[in-house]
Amino acid sequence: MTQLSIPTTALGERGQIPLIGLGTYALDGEAGATAIATALQNGYRLLDTAAQYLNEETVGKAIRQSGVPRQELVVTTKLAGADHGYDKTLAAARASLQRLGLEYIDLYLIHWPNPSVHLYAESYRAMLQLADDGLVRHVGVSNFKPAHLQRLFDETGVWPALNQVQLSPALARTELRRFHAEHSIATEAWRPLGADEGVPSNRNVTEIARKHGRTAGQIALRWAVQQGIVAIPKSGRTDRQLENAQVFDFELGDADMAALATLDLGEAAAWDADTHEEF
């Protein structure tokens, strides 16, 4: 096994989170469990799943199969839209724990704000209670915009520890990240490679990759982690998992970062959490 060394960044007041983790969407069954377990044995310590992915059992099996001590891991799962509301959130968290086979969730996120339902603040209050009860270590959100984040703070006095959002060099989310920084909210990127936005084939990216002797995917991930952004690329292939995590032994220069900044399509190109809802 290859033993990766993945640095961490701050999560909440006392926590740490690896800068590269493993997205597990669509990793299921025996093959999925083996792929996830292998990633853990190779040095991954951050896993990302969700009730909505229907693979929490697989993730739990992989954790047990890996032999990695539980206390070394940061396990993330997310509250599904159908479970918004105070009591539903309490029940959903316990159901996720049962499926994962764990005693606590390291990072519990609201998957989407679903503002038409108008219950995400109630769910957030329930998650803070779960943290008080020791069932959750860190409470966060996913796909929230500044107005959604502000409402949570206005109603509870507690900022989320982390906001997981669609983010890549093509969707830099600069203003949102500035808001995060002002309130000590960690930023985590889903779809960090920007494949849907053409990042891997962009000429600037391929030229930078050639210069550094890296892949286009490694350039996109280095762009993220160099700015303190946590990234959770998904792959069931061991070689790709290793490649994605080997981005800490080189640095992008100012000219590289300036060239990558030209890829940004702007906030309007990202999925809009005011209108996109998932249940």
The question of whether 104 is a catalytic residue gets the answer no
Q: Classify residue 198 by its DSSP letter.
A: T
- Outline where 106-173 has alpha helix (H): 120-132, 146-156
Pairing of strands 8-11, 15-18: antiparallel
Instruction: Locate 44 and state its tokens.
Output: 């991954």
CA-angle at 164, arms to 161 and 165, nearest 5°: 140
d(CA 110, CA 244): 26
Three-state DSSP string of 232-252: CCECCCHHHHHHHHCCCCCCC
Whether the CB-CB separation of 104 and 137 falls below 8 Å is answered with yes
Closest to 93 measured CA to CA, from 79, 103, 107: 79
Selecting among 44, 53, 108, 124, the annotated active-site residue is 53
Instruction: Give the active site residues.
Output: 53
